[in-house]
A and B are shown apart, each in its own frame.
Chain A
Amino acid sequence: MPEGRDPSDNDANAMKMITAIIRPWKLDDLQMAVARLGVQGITVTEVTGYGRQRGHSEHYKGSEYQVEFVPKLRVEIVLDEASAEAVVEAISNVCRTGKTGDGKIFLAPVGEAVRIRTRESGAAAA
């Protein structure tokens, strides 16, 4: 990374990471919605967790377990700051059912991005 460079120095290179925790079956809808907005890269992980939506109970012979965690997907998209808001809104709309457990979206600034194949950096690499 070039010396003394600060992401906020150059607005055109400012990037954000969108992290969305969503219901697993909403992935296809989300992918189509963000693709329509021009998003070209996405990373998906299977996660487990809870917010206000708690789990369920399971029983195996004599043992009963209260399973707190609920399976979700974590979707990460790194893109230029200017496009972020529209993508967040699209994700939010397409993933909403109105019931507890719809999920959350977090935004964080990204300091740098590099495309491995071409060695590009900055927003062009996001």
Chain B
Amino acid sequence: MHQDNKRTKGSSLMRGLGAALLMMLPALVFAQDAPPPPNKGDVSWLMTSTVLVILMTIPGLALFYGGMVRNKNVLSLLMQVMIVFCVGVLLFAVFGYSVAFSEGSNAFFGGFGKVFLKGMTGDSLTGTFSKATNIPELGFFCFQATFAAITPALIVGAFAERIKFSALLVFILIWLAFAYYPIAHMVWFWSGPDAYTTAEAGAAANVNAGFLFNKGALDFAGGTVVHINAGIAGLVGCLLIGKRLGYGQTALPPHNLPMVMIGSALLWVGWFGFNVGSNLEANGFATLVFTNTLLATAAATLAWMFGEWIVKGSPTMLGAASGAVAGLVAITPACGWVGPMGSIAIGVLAALICLWAVSGLKKMLGYDDSLDVFGVHCIGGIVGALLTGVFNSPALGGTDVYDYVANAFPNPADYSIATHVISQAWGVGVTLLWSGIVSLVAFKVIDLTIGLRVTEEQEREGLDTVSHGERAYNG
């Protein structure tokens, strides 16, 4: 300490400059060569979110569906959800991730450069929604793999209690390859924010970005990619397979509503991973996504409950569980684009429209969508997708769409709800058509080869014993 008094002013200035230069050196190096390392908070949240989405499927969705069917079929639902989940993550590793999230030669399918996760290690990086911010690519892969697995698992509810297990497995493989992966690519694939340095660079980056991404269709966490997609596949499936024996004449009530409630609660809790994880960063914006997911769902649950109370005479547990899921579905595309009050509006509207869809519409059109995959996921997804265009407006509390070239948000006065809703409609329409047609062809081919449905005798006996050689409740 005493020594410092003897240093001259000049030499300490030189020392200071030298120190400053040394500190700048890493930044200079990174700007030119190595991308910034991932933030440990971001990585932790990404992995935690992935675990939450796994929980949504097993056991969340499995229990939600399992409790809704008769006790002779409960195992078949648990099996279908769990096994489809496993098939889903594995196929995604084989070629799904490559097709969905790598650059292809067109706007519909990615390339095969990352099949079998080629070249991906713990050090591989991928972008987020912020410039110069990366996350480990394997973390992103796992997160997206759980999405690619829960989506086909949703579909099974539409034709519960009568589908042939082998037929389902074949269908899932075809549907993932030709519907889910391209639709995920169309909606979500882009080169990342770092490519948008200038307007020209941005335009070049857009050339091979996803078709619906370029249409401006906003889907923060998968309202289109997951819910509309699965929902329309479910509708096509239940129409082709036909109604359950006794549907409309005999009572087919849920065998275990406590199980349904547990499933719906696990879905809600896990959905925070689904929605907030889609932010890819653990920052302040993520807390907005969290808020939207919390409020929309609570509002939807109450809206469904009150709607049912008024129209049907009593507020049911099944209704509350369904209302929560409807709200979650609808806020999924919107959660990163709307404000909290907008999310409440979305929750309420989605719940009331879905309540009508599973009762009035269903009775009117006469289809047996056993666990309301179309009525909740497809209709709820459509409502959420379209309302995203509305409530994304800054005038209605929304965030607007960030301009990565200007590095700023646009002038709020320039937001056109009409333009955005049209972009959303593109996403809805293309998904309905694409997934609907793929499902139609796939189901038809399977029906003509191995058959879609169990025999009448097997259906009466119950899928648990017939398809799985097991009884759920012994003694």
- Is residue B444 within 8 Å, beta carbon to beta carbon, of the partner chain? no
Residues of the A chain whose Cβ atoms lie less than 8 Å from the Cβ of B308: 59
Residues of the B chain whose Cβ atoms lie less than 8 Å from the Cβ of A63: 251-253
Say whether A67 contacts B362, CB under 8 Å. no
Stretch at the interface among B228-236, B315-323, B428-436: B315-323
Q: How far is the CA of A65 from the CA of B375 in the complex (A)?
A: 20
Q: How far is the CA of A55 from the CA of B312 in the complex (A)?
A: 17
Contact of B251 among A61, A62, A67 (CB under 8 A): A67
Residues of the B chain whose Cβ atoms lie less than 8 Å from the Cβ of A25: none
Say whether B362 contacts A60, CB under 8 Å. no
Q: How far is the CA of A61 from the CA of B356 in the complex (A)?
A: 10
- Is residue B372 within 8 Å, beta carbon to beta carbon, of the partner chain? yes
- Is residue A58 within 8 Å, beta carbon to beta carbon, of the partner chain? yes
Say whether A61 contacts B318, CB under 8 Å. yes
Q: How far is the CA of A59 from the CA of B313 in the complex (A)?
A: 9
Contact of B316 among A60, A65, A67 (CB under 8 A): A60
The tally of CB-CB contacts under 8 A between chains A and B is 30
Say whether B358 contacts A61, CB under 8 Å. yes
Say whether A59 contacts B251, CB under 8 Å. no
Q: Mark B305-341, 1 if CB is under 8 A from A, else 0.
A: 0001000111010110010000000000000000000
Say whether A61 contacts B359, CB under 8 Å. yes
Say whether B363 contacts A65, CB under 8 Å. no
Q: How far is the CA of A67 from the CA of B318 in the complex (A)?
A: 18
CB of A107, distance to nearest CB on chain B (Å): 34
Q: Please name the residue on chain A nearest to B304 by beta carbon.
A: A61
Q: How far is the CA of A119 from the CA of B426 in the complex (A)?
A: 84
Say whether A58 contacts B253, CB under 8 Å. yes
Contact of B318 among A60, A64, A65 (CB under 8 A): A60
Contact of A59 among B252, B316, B322 (CB under 8 A): B316
- Is residue B254 within 8 Å, beta carbon to beta carbon, of the partner chain? yes
Say whether A62 contacts B363, CB under 8 Å. yes
Contact of B314 among A59, A62, A67 (CB under 8 A): A59
Which residues of chain A from 37 to 81 have a CB within 8 Å of any chain B CB?
A: 58-65, 67
Q: How far is the CA of A58 from the CA of B253 in the complex (A)?
A: 9
Say whether A62 contacts B253, CB under 8 Å. no
CB of A33, distance to nearest CB on chain B (Å): 33
- Residue from the set B251, B312, B313 with the largest chain A CB neighbour count within 10 Å: B251
Say whether A59 contacts B254, CB under 8 Å. no
Say whether B359 contacts A62, CB under 8 Å. yes
Q: Please name the residue on chain B nearest to A59 by beta carbon.
A: B312
Contact of B358 among A62, A64, A67 (CB under 8 A): A62
CB of A59, distance to nearest CB on chain B (Å): 5
Q: How far is the CA of A59 from the CA of B318 in the complex (A)?
A: 9
Say whether A61 contacts B322, CB under 8 Å. yes
Q: Please name the residue on chain A nearest to B356 by beta carbon.
A: A62
CB of A70, distance to nearest CB on chain B (Å): 15
Residues of the B chain whose Cβ atoms lie less than 8 Å from the Cβ of A61: 318-319, 322, 358-359, 372
Residues of the B chain whose Cβ atoms lie less than 8 Å from the Cβ of A65: 251, 253
Residues of the A chain whose Cβ atoms lie less than 8 Å from the Cβ of B362: 62
Residues of the A chain whose Cβ atoms lie less than 8 Å from the Cβ of B251: 63, 65, 67
Q: How far is the CA of A27 from the CA of B452 in the complex (A)?
A: 50
Q: Please name the residue on chain A nearest to B360 by beta carbon.
A: A62
Which residues of chain A from 60 to 115 have a CB within 8 Å of any chain B CB?
A: 60-65, 67
Which residues of chain B from 356 to 395 have a CB within 8 Å of any chain A CB?
A: 358-360, 362-363, 372, 375
Q: How far is the CA of A23 from the CA of B322 in the complex (A)?
A: 35
CB of B316, distance to nearest CB on chain A (Å): 7
Residues of the B chain whose Cβ atoms lie less than 8 Å from the Cβ of A62: 358-360, 362-363, 372, 375
Residues of the B chain whose Cβ atoms lie less than 8 Å from the Cβ of A67: 251
Q: How far is the CA of A67 from the CA of B253 in the complex (A)?
A: 11
Q: Please name the residue on chain A nearest to B317 by beta carbon.
A: A60
Residues of the A chain whose Cβ atoms lie less than 8 Å from the Cβ of B313: 59
CB of A68, distance to nearest CB on chain B (Å): 10
Q: How far is the CA of A58 from the CA of B313 in the complex (A)?
A: 10
Residues of the A chain whose Cβ atoms lie less than 8 Å from the Cβ of B322: 61
Say whether A60 contacts B358, CB under 8 Å. no
Q: How far is the CA of A77 from the CA of B411 in the complex (A)?
A: 86
Q: How far is the CA of A59 from the CA of B363 in the complex (A)?
A: 14
Residues of the A chain whose Cβ atoms lie less than 8 Å from the Cβ of B372: 61-62
Q: Please name the residue on chain B nearest to A58 by beta carbon.
A: B253
Residues of the A chain whose Cβ atoms lie less than 8 Å from the Cβ of B319: 61
Q: How far is the CA of A65 from the CA of B316 in the complex (A)?
A: 14
What are 16 A-B interface contacts by the 8 Å CB criterion? A58-B253, A59-B312, A59-B313, A59-B316, A60-B253, A60-B316, A61-B318, A61-B322, A61-B358, A62-B358, A62-B363, A62-B372, A63-B251, A64-B312, A65-B253, A67-B251
Q: Interface of A with B (CB < 8 Å)?
A: 58-65, 67
